[in-house]
Structure 1
Amino acid sequence: MSWSRLARDDAQLRVFDGGSGFPVVFQHGLGGDEAQVRGNFPDEPAVRRLTVECRAQGESTAGSTRPFSIAMFADDVLAAADAHGARRFVAGGISMGAAIALRLAIYHPERVAALILARPAWVDTPAPANMRPYAEVAALLARMSPSEAKVAFEASATGRLLAREAPDNLVSLLGFFDRPDPALTATLLGDIAADGPGVTGGDLAAIRVPTLVIGHGVDFAHPLAHAEALAARIPGARLAVIPPKATDKAGHVAAFRSAVATFLDQILPSLESSS
């Protein structure tokens, strides 16, 4: 396995390239990093995994280009695939990473051999209601100190709702208040919460590659209804409903890995024979 740096505009992106076999480009969620992917990705079957830590996340720098967007991150991922010689690959990701993968499949269909959409936070519209808590965190960070903003968010109607109905989401959101650059974090969260993958229902219906969608309940940020909608609208897509992360983290991770491993086991023989 190896790490490298990729210059994009004035940003420096950290890229993981590990394993051998058919390439799988798998992306983290908003505010995540390669470790999030590593913690959920199966050890088998043998594949070559590439993960780009998106701008202002992990150990990648932010650069000066604004706004941050899913389109920007998708372009960065494609540039990393080019730099690493991955001409055709399985595209996948978690949450924001799923949106990046979906955009790649629609805008660059010649590059994407299969698709894995895990815990999707978007379907085909920008700024969905489930992303509003991220926008609220961004707004608080933009006008308060991190400690004051954290207290205000926990006490807000959204904070109380998440504490009752999606505690795992609340823990994740509270972590943003502890990041080292509050202004940058506010910009990142605000920009992405207002964005979307830039696709239409017609685009979804036109996808013609094997697709796995993974969803679960007890998750305000990643509604099971989003996973169900994508699976229903992408022809031939398979839906895997796994245990909620909030109530059974070990079972969630095991089922996530199993779903991805089973899907890859089923599609890799044909992909490898055609490559």
Structure 2
Amino acid sequence: MTTLLLHGLGADRRQPLKLFSPVLAAIDGADGPVVAIDVRAHGTFHEVGTPADFALDRLAAEAAAATVAEVPRLIQAEDAPDDAALGPAPLTVIGISMGAAIALRLALDGLLPVDRAVFVRPSFDDRSLPPNLRAFPVIGERLHDAGADGAAEFRETNLYHEVERVSPAGAAGLLAQFTAPLAEERAMRLVEVPRNRAFSDDAELAGLAGRGIRSLVVGAPRDPVHPLATAERWAGALGVPLETVPARDDGLAAQTAAMRDAVGRWLALTARA
């Protein structure tokens, strides 16, 4: 089965590859390709575009097109018989934060033949610019006005201090946005992406199971940007398991190990189902 990996805001395809490649190698071996793409204005996707290009449905459509370009079997030719052995092939999608929101839209909107979905540390819900994401447009504006030097001003904001009080690791992650590759040129992504709603309401989330798509949610405590309450809401509305891993501030290595273990166990279990 093909696996699609989707990164978080400000990261690139290397983020989920580093995190989950060991898991996928142990579970799936060479049985299916692993596709990791760069979302618009991230990694090797250099085009920034306009604010409208950062609407979640457009990002999802671009992700679907990039995935199909790498794995054509994910679509079925219009003239192929219904029982054609070569298509469409099922897909597992694993998304982190923004990637989780894109993965959800891929599944709900039927853009790819998703069979399984893993939503890691989701940060988006049914609100535009929820409180946990309000720091990102501010960072984007500082980058636009002052470049990397805007980090010093951002460190003096209440938004930064609120995150730092709960999670120094989370605060460091926010500051890392200032030094990301081409951060100044790509500042628009930080302003526009957080304005997206991942879903319209809990009923839309609940509809995922009706499509026959199995899913898992992974969350962590003391993460102001990716609140555990958001992960709990996703899991509750989806009616699926929630795996809670250690906080980043208790050690990134411990969180990574727990995340790999949780996702690996679930993938192995659902592969046998």
**TM-score clears 0.5:** yes
User: 1:255 & 1:143 partners in 2: Cα distance?
Assistant: 40
Q: Which residue of 1 aligns with 2:72?
A: 85
User: 1:152 & 1:110 partners in 2: Cα distance?
Assistant: 42
Answer with 114-123 or 133-142: which moved more: 133-142
Would the alpha carbon gap of residues 180 and 89 (structure 1) be closer, same or farther in structure 2, given more than 3 Å must change? closer
Q: Which amino acid aligns with 2:18?
A: G
Superposed counterparts of 1:1-275, under 5 Å: 22-41=1-20, 42=23, 43-46=25-28, 47-67=32-52, 68-83=54-69, 84-87=71-74, 88-108=90-110, 111-147=113-149, 149-179=150-180, 181-208=182-209, 209-235=213-239, 237-270=240-273
SS of the residue corresponding to residue 38 of structure 1 reads: helix
Would the alpha carbon gap of residues 180 and 49 (structure 1) be closer, same or farther in structure 2, given more than 3 Å must change? closer
User: 2:199 & 2:237 partners in 1: Cα distance?
Assistant: 16
Q: Deviations over 1:41-100 (max 9, x none)?
A: 013201422111111111221253433232222111111222222522112210000000
Q: Which amino acid aligns with 2:19?
A: N
Cα contact 2:199–2:205 (8 A) shared by 1: no
- Tell me by how many angstroms 1:127 deviates: 1.4
TM-score, structure 1 length as denominator? 0.84
User: 2:110 & 2:73 partners in 1: Cα distance?
Assistant: 13
SS of the residue corresponding to residue 114 of structure 1 reads: strand
SS of the residue corresponding to residue 206 of structure 1 reads: helix
TM-score, structure 2 length as denominator? 0.85
Which structure shows the bigger proportion of residues in helix conformation? 2
Q: Which amino acid aligns with 1:151?
A: A
Cα contact 1:213–1:231 (8 A) shared by 2: yes
SS of the residue corresponding to residue 249 of structure 2 reads: coil
Aligned residues: CA RMSD: 1.8
User: 1:48 & 1:269 partners in 2: Cα distance?
Assistant: 19
Give the unaligned 5+ runs of structure 1: 1-21, 271-275
Cα contact 1:176–1:185 (8 A) shared by 2: no
Q: Which residue of 2 aligns with 1:12?
A: none
Would the alpha carbon gap of residues 152 and 50 (structure 1) be closer, same or farther in structure 2, given more than 3 Å must change? same
SS of the residue corresponding to residue 99 of structure 1 reads: helix
Cα contact 1:119–1:214 (8 A) shared by 2: yes
State, as a whole percentage, how many aligned pairs show the same letter: 28
Q: Which amino acid aligns with 1:103?
A: R
Give the unaligned 5+ runs of structure 2: 75-89
Q: Kindly tell me the number of residue pairs found equivalent between the two proteins.
A: 247
User: 2:48 & 2:41 partners in 1: Cα distance?
Assistant: 8
Q: Which amino acid aligns with 1:51?
A: A
Would the alpha carbon gap of residues 92 and 201 (structure 1) be closer, same or farther in structure 2, given more than 3 Å must change? same
Q: Deviations over 1:144-185 (max 9, x none)?
A: 3421x1111111112222222121221111122224545433
Q: Which amino acid aligns with 1:45?
A: I
